[in-house]
Amino acid sequence: MDYHSLLEGAIELHCHSYPSIFPRKQTDWELIEDVKKAKMAGVVLKAHEASTVDRATVLRLKEPSLHVYGGLVLNEFTGGLSPKAVDMAIRLGAKIIWMPTISSNEHCCHFGKKKTRLFNSERPLPNVEEGLTILDEDKKIKQSVHEILALIGEANITLATGHLSVEEVSALIDAAKEHHIEKILIQHADLGIAPVPLALQKVFAKKGAIIEKCYMACSEDFKDLSVTQMAETIREIGVESCVLVTDYGQDHNIPPIEALSNFVNEMLEQGITNQEIQKMIVDNPKKLLGL
């Protein structure tokens, strides 16, 4: 596989690998081999069901020239909205704390009655009609979430929005600013799971957030927008506030680094320049990871 030369020095911030309870295309080791072949600087491992900090640490020990990092998604089975779980993840070296994904109320509402290949495990997870929310009955940020944000701000790592609703994301960004969080990542803003309208993406970018432009949104799994439309959103928001990610790793899809290479090619075909691509896959990811 020949990867696009622009991947040299890049970091993929959002992909999935094995071990996992979900069918994955590659093991961590296979993913890292692709990262090396593409001459990338590194990758962030994400898992809905467990911390990826330990895995990333072992990979980094084996490949010290690579920036391989992990973090914690605040789902029910990883501790939920637990400041203690976040504190321990940060102590162990987490670079990103993701708000709830498949345990979020937004996700449960979206997928509760849908049949999908994306979140099928050998022994199905129980269907939950209501999931986690970061807001209390008065639509205010919960105290536990404030405690989590304080830990993230103190550690100066990245806060990612997971699969929260737009209402929650908006409140979270304002609360994050109160806790002096400088690195905020709006996850797959165009994806149908928890879409963020373009007008709000621009508002969030003006508040200093970085917006994930996610290849999965253009895939057969979702078809939320075309590659042409994706490029148009990048132009409207500005490349200084965007990162290109894939969210790939599912067994039925091509491997993540191949997907990222294709994404780069397709963005170039849409008139996004080499320099703009580099900003979104090299510079902005490194900034979020504090490199």
Residue 35, pLDDT score: 98
Task: Indicate which CATH number applies to the domain containing 56.
Answer: 3.20.20.140
Residue 193, pLDDT score: 85
pLDDT tens, residue by residue, 60-104: 999 999 999 999 999 999 999 999 999 999 999 999 999 999 988
Residue 46 near residue 52, CB atoms below 8 Å: yes
Ranges in the chain, pLDDT < 70: 110-129
Return the residue matching tokens 């089975």: 77
Residue 270, pLDDT score: 98
Residue 132, pLDDT score: 95
Residue 215 near residue 16, CB atoms below 8 Å: no
pTM of the model: 0.94
- How far is it, in rounded angstroms, from Cα 221 to Cα 101? 17
Host domain of residue 70: 5-288
Residue 117, pLDDT score: 53
Residue 201 near residue 195, CB atoms below 8 Å: no
Return the residue matching tokens 């596989």: 1
Q: What is each CA distance from 213 to 262, 281, 290, in whole angstroms?
A: 14, 11, 20
Residue 130, pLDDT score: 75
Residue 79 near residue 55, CB atoms below 8 Å: no
Residue 124, pLDDT score: 64
How many domains is the chain partitioned into structurally? 1
What's CA 238's distance to the chain center, in Å?
19
- 19 upstream amide cis, omega within 30 of 0: yes
